[in-house]
Amino acid sequence: MDLRVIDKSDTELSLEIAGEDHTFMNVIKGALLETEGVTAATYDVNPEQSGGQTDPVLTIKTEESVDALDALEDGTDRVIEKADDFTAAFESAA
């Protein structure tokens, strides 16, 4: 997975995530929307209407008191936690 920052301010972050599709993007977007201080999280994967873009672009907007990069870290930690919980539940059910 390669990340490329497209735009960054204290309360907004847009980054291209190479090689990912809707599966991963929906998971990270959902986790970000559950993250305190995140006001918006969205992604775009439409190359025809995005000037030839081929990889998804994730955009995060936060409240003034929350840094967008910190929110991304919190969101990814949430994804890892949910995956670990699922693995544990699956293993105990088997």
Question: Residue 17 is encoded by which pair of tokens?
Answer: 């995530």
Q: How many distinct helices (H) and strands (E) make up the chain?
A: 2, 4
Q: Rounded CA gap, 66 and 37, in Å?
A: 6
Q: Are 75 and 35 contacting, i.e. CB atoms less than 8 angstroms apart?
A: yes
pLDDT tens, position by position, 33-91: 999 999 999 999 875 665 666 789 999 999 999 999 999 999 999 999 999 999 999 99
6 pLDDT above the threshold of 80? yes
